Chains A and B, each alone.
Chain A
C-alpha cells in the first residue's frame, strides 16, 4: 500500500547518469531493484473495461492483465481452468450452472479506491447484470454497448443470475448451451468490483469505474497517457501469487518497423505483429527469440450458396480443386501459414485429422464445371481492404485465385470496399464469392462451426449463406450436452459433411510470430492473440 503510485520507483537507479548510460543500463534488463518489463504495444486501448470494447489492444491493456474471470484459459492454451470460481456443477438438463467462488481474493488498491472487502458473489452479479439488465444503474454508463456480450447471444441465453450465498452463484439459462463455460472465459466476462462501482455511483462519477480500473488481476494500472504509455505495477496481494516482474510498461508504438527498432535497441522486451519482411532477420538475431505458434484462426473464401450457380455443390467442389493453396501460402503468407482443410484450426479439440482436402486438379475442376453447366462462368471475388491475422494481404490472395480460376475457364473480377461497407454488404449477400476469416473467441468448435456456418447465421456471419439441415442438426445436438466425447464425435461428423458440401474454400490457418528479447523468461503465445504477462520473468 505504501508503494501505491510511487513514481520514483522507476528512477531510483539512475541519478547522475547521462542519458546514453541510462539507456544502456536499461537495455541490459533494467535496474537491479525493480524488474520492469516493457511491451511495445501496437496501439492505444479503447478503454479499460473489456466488456465495452472489441479490440485486442483493449483486452491486452485490461482483461489480460488486470482482471480475472470465473474461469480462464490456461496460459498458452485453449484449455479451461478454474479462476475466480473454484469449481462448478451443471444440472442434468444443462440449464443451471452453479459456481463455487474462491475466497480471500483481493481487489487492487488505487488512488481512488481502497477495497473494504474481498471478492464475493456480489461482484459477479454486478459484472454480469450491468451488461444483461437494461435497467441496471450502470447499463448506460460509458456508452453502454456490450458488443461481445450481445454478439455471443448472452442476453437471450441467461435468464437470471442467482446469489445462492456469498460464495455461490447460479446462472440459469433459457436453453442448454454447452459452450457456455468457455464463453465465461472470454474478455467481456471479466469481474469488476461491485463495491467500487457503488462508491463511484454515490460520488456521482460512475464512468470512473471504466477509466480507473479496479480488478483482481496480477497487475494494476498506475498511469495511462493516451497514445504514449501505460504503466502497471504488480498486484502485491494477487491470489495466485505476486507476479515475478515488478512493473509492466506498455510503450505504444504503432509502426511495426519502429517497434522492431526499439526491440533491437533493448527499449522494449516484447513486441506484437512483426513485419513478415523482418522475420528472417529476427530469427538470426541472437538477442531475440522468435516464438511461433499456429493461430486460432481460419481464412476462407465463401461461395454465396443462395446465388446461382453456387447452389450447385459440383461448382463449389470444382472451384475448390482449381485453387493452388501452396502458392498462396508461399506468396501471401510468406511461409507463415498452413493450408487449411477444415473450418476449424488444428489447435482446437475435435479437429478431424482424417479429412482429405480437395487436391489441386484443374482438369477435374474443368470437367466438373462442364457437368454442372458452368463451363464459362463469370463471377467476382471480394477482397478485404484490411490486413487481418488470418489474411495478411487479401488483394494479393484474390489475384492469385483469379489467375488459378482463369486456368479452368472461370473469369473473376476482384471487388473491394471500405471495411465497414465490406462487412455489411457481404452480410447482406451482395457477393458471389468473398474472402474473409475468423479468429476464435473461446476455443470451442461451436464458436467456429455454429457462428460461421449454422442456419441461424445464414443471413449474418455465415457469408456462404449456407443452411444445410444434416450439418445444422449435428451442431444443435452438440450444444445440448456438455460431454466432450459426445460433442467431439458430432463435430467430427459435421466436418465430413462440410468438406463434401464445400460451401467454402478453406484457405489457411496463419502462424503467429512473437519476437521477445533473450532475457525474457517463459513468455507464451496466447492462441487467442492476446498478450499476458503474469508468470513472465526477466533474466
Chain B
C-alpha cells in the first residue's frame, strides 16, 4: 500500500511543477499592462511606470521572476494582488468557503438524487421509468448552465417570488464569519431565521451547479449496476433464491459503487468549471467569480495564484480518489 501511495504522489510532483510553469507563463502571456489598467485615462509617466513595474517584480528576466515565484511558493507566499494589495493566499482562502459550500451542496444533491435514480433505472431496465431517467439525465448532461441559471431566476425569483435573486444570505442578518460557511455560521449566530435564509439563497445555485454532476452520476450508476447485475455471481445469488432487494443492496451495489466513486471524484474539476459560471450568474462571492474578475482586471498575481491553487485542489482530490480506489480494489494497487 505504501508503495502504491508513494508512486501516486511521485507521479504528481512533476505534474505540479508543470502546473506552476503553465500558470506562470500563461499569466505573463496575457497581453495588457496592469499598471496602465490601474491608472486608466489619467496616464502615467514612463519613469513612474518603470518604477511600478519594478515594484511588482515584472521588470526582471522571466527565469528570475519564475525562480522568485517558486521560492515564494515554498514559503506559502503567492504574491500580492495588484488590485487590492492583499496577499493572494489570503484572498483565496477568504473566498474559498463560499465556493466549497456551494460545491458541497451541489455534489451532495447530485449524489442523493443521482445514485437512487441510477439504481432504480438499472433494476427496471427498459421500463418507462428507466427511459425517463435516461432522457432527463442526458438533457441535464447537455445543459448550458449559463442559460439554465437565468431561466430558473426568471421563474422562481421573478415570476413566483419564491427564492432570492442573488447573494448568500439576506442583508438583515449580520454576524461575524466564523467558519466562512454560511450554513454553519448562520446556525452558530443563533439568529432565528438566519439558517433558513442562507438555505434559501443556496437552492437555485445548488440546482444549477448540481445538474451536470447529477446527470453523470445517474448514468454512471445505472450502467455500473447493469454490468454487475449481469455478472455470474449476482445471477447465482438470484438463482439461490435471495430476495431481489438483498441481491441489489448487498452484492451488486457494493461492486457497482467502485466506478461510481471515481466518477464522483472526477466531478470536482467539473464543479470548479461550473462554479465560474454559477457564481457569475448568482453574484456568489466565491473563487470562480474572483478568477473571472481577476482575468478581466489583469491582476497577474491573483490569476496566477488562483490557477495554481485550483489546480492543486483538483489534483489533491484526484489523488484521494485514486488512493481510495486502490484501497477498495486491491487489483489496482498491485498493477503498477
Please, which residues of chain A bring their CB within 8 A of the CB of B86? 47
Please, which residues of chain A bring their CB within 8 A of the CB of B290? 227
A interface secondary structure, majority: mixed
Contact of A419 (CB < 8 Å), options: B37, B55, B157, B177: B37
Known: A225-B177, A418-B32, A424-B36. A261 touches B165 (CB 8 A): yes
B104 CB, min distance to chain A CBs, angstroms: 18
Of chain B, the residue at the smallest CB distance from A260 is B165
- How far is it, in angstroms, between the C-alpha of A229 and the C-alpha of B95 when the chains are bound? 13
Please, which residues of chain A bring their CB within 8 A of the CB of B167? 228, 251, 253
Contact with A along B252-294 (1 / 0, CB 8 A): 0000000000000000000000000000000101000110000
Known: A226-B91, A228-B168, A421-B33. A19 touches B196 (CB 8 A): yes
Contact of B193 (CB < 8 Å), options: A22, A423, A461: A22
Known: A11-B172, A143-B85, A258-B166. A420 touches B44 (CB 8 A): no
Identify which of residues 415-441 in chain A touch chain B, using a CB-to-CB cut-off of 8 Å. Answer: 417-421, 423-424, 427, 436-439
Known: A54-B38, A143-B85, A251-B167. A423 touches B31 (CB 8 A): no
- How far is it, in angstroms, between the C-alpha of A102 and the C-alpha of B192 when the chains are bound? 46
A74 part of interface (Cβ distance < 8 Å): no
Identify which of residues 205-235 in chain A touch chain B, using a CB-to-CB cut-off of 8 Å. Answer: 210, 223, 225-229, 231
Of chain B, the residue at the smallest CB distance from A18 is B193
Please, which residues of chain B bring their CB within 8 A of the CB of A254? 283
Please, which residues of chain A bring their CB within 8 A of the CB of B31? 417-418, 420-421
Please, which residues of chain A bring their CB within 8 A of the CB of B35? 420
B40 CB, min distance to chain A CBs, angstroms: 6
The answer to whether B85 and A52 touch across the interface, beta carbons within 8 angstroms, is yes
- How far is it, in angstroms, between the C-alpha of A412 and the C-alpha of B142 when the chains are bound? 44
Contact with B along A14-37 (1 / 0, CB 8 A): 111111001100100000000000
The answer to whether A420 and B32 touch across the interface, beta carbons within 8 angstroms, is yes
Please, which residues of chain B bring their CB within 8 A of the CB of A421? 31-33, 36
The answer to whether B176 and A223 touch across the interface, beta carbons within 8 angstroms, is yes
The answer to whether B285 and A17 touch across the interface, beta carbons within 8 angstroms, is no
A166 part of interface (Cβ distance < 8 Å): no
- How far is it, in angstroms, between the C-alpha of A11 and the C-alpha of B84 when the chains are bound? 31
Contact with A along B71-86 (1 / 0, CB 8 A): 0000000001001111
Identify which of residues 124-177 in chain B touch chain A, using a CB-to-CB cut-off of 8 Å. Answer: 157-158, 165-168, 170-177
Please, which residues of chain B bring their CB within 8 A of the CB of A437? 41
The answer to whether B33 and A420 touch across the interface, beta carbons within 8 angstroms, is yes
The answer to whether B283 and A255 touch across the interface, beta carbons within 8 angstroms, is yes
- How far is it, in angstroms, between the C-alpha of A17 and the C-alpha of B83 when the chains are bound? 41
The stretch among A145-153, A353-361, A397-405 that forms the contact with chain B is: A145-153
Contact of A19 (CB < 8 Å), options: B34, B83, B165, B193: B193
Contact of A262 (CB < 8 Å), options: B41, B45, B165, B191: B165
The answer to whether A253 and B166 touch across the interface, beta carbons within 8 angstroms, is yes
Please, which residues of chain B bring their CB within 8 A of the CB of A427? 43
Known: A15-B192, A225-B285. A151 touches B55 (CB 8 A): no
A460 part of interface (Cβ distance < 8 Å): yes
Q: Categorize the interface residue count of chain B.
A: 35 or more
Please, which residues of chain B bring their CB within 8 A of the CB of A101? none
Of chain B, the residue at the smallest CB distance from A249 is B171
Number of interface residues of A (CB under 8 A): 61
Please, which residues of chain B bring their CB within 8 A of the CB of A460? 43, 45
Known: A261-B157, A420-B36. A227 touches B42 (CB 8 A): no
B15 part of interface (Cβ distance < 8 Å): no
Of chain B, the residue at the smallest CB distance from A210 is B85
Of chain B, the residue at the smallest CB distance from A226 is B94
The answer to whether B197 and A420 touch across the interface, beta carbons within 8 angstroms, is no
- How far is it, in angstroms, between the C-alpha of A210 and the C-alpha of B86 when the chains are bound? 11
Please, which residues of chain A bring their CB within 8 A of the CB of B171? 26, 38, 229, 249, 251, 267
Contact with A along B176-202 (1 / 0, CB 8 A): 110000000000000111001100100
Please, which residues of chain A bring their CB within 8 A of the CB of B36? 419-421, 423-424
- How far is it, in angstroms, between the C-alpha of A418 and the C-alpha of B44 when the chains are bound? 18
The answer to whether B165 and A438 touch across the interface, beta carbons within 8 angstroms, is no
Of chain A, the residue at the smallest CB distance from B150 is A257
Most buried by B among A145, A150, A437: A145
- How far is it, in angstroms, between the C-alpha of A417 and the C-alpha of B298 when the chains are bound? 14
Please, which residues of chain B bring their CB within 8 A of the CB of A439? 41
B334 part of interface (Cβ distance < 8 Å): no
A142 part of interface (Cβ distance < 8 Å): yes
Of chain B, the residue at the smallest CB distance from A228 is B285
B313 part of interface (Cβ distance < 8 Å): no
Of chain A, the residue at the smallest CB distance from B166 is A258
- How far is it, in angstroms, between the C-alpha of A19 and the C-alpha of B161 when the chains are bound? 12
Please, which residues of chain B bring their CB within 8 A of the CB of A145? 52, 55
Identify which of residues 281-328 in chain A touch chain B, using a CB-to-CB cut-off of 8 Å. Answer: none
Please, which residues of chain B bring their CB within 8 A of the CB of A19? 170, 193, 196-197, 200
Please, which residues of chain A bring their CB within 8 A of the CB of B94? 226
- How far is it, in angstroms, between the C-alpha of A26 and the C-alpha of B196 when the chains are bound? 17
For the A-B complex with A11-B174, A252-B285 known, give 12 more contacts whose Cβ atoms are closer than 8 Å: A10-B174, A11-B173, A19-B170, A26-B172, A47-B85, A47-B86, A225-B285, A227-B283, A231-B174, A253-B283, A420-B35, A457-B43
Closest 9 CB pairs of A and B: A227-B285, A420-B32, A143-B85, A420-B36, A461-B43, A420-B33, A420-B37, A418-B32, A228-B285
Q: 6 A–B contact pairs at CB < 8 A?
A: A142-B85, A147-B44, A150-B44, A228-B285, A420-B298, A460-B45
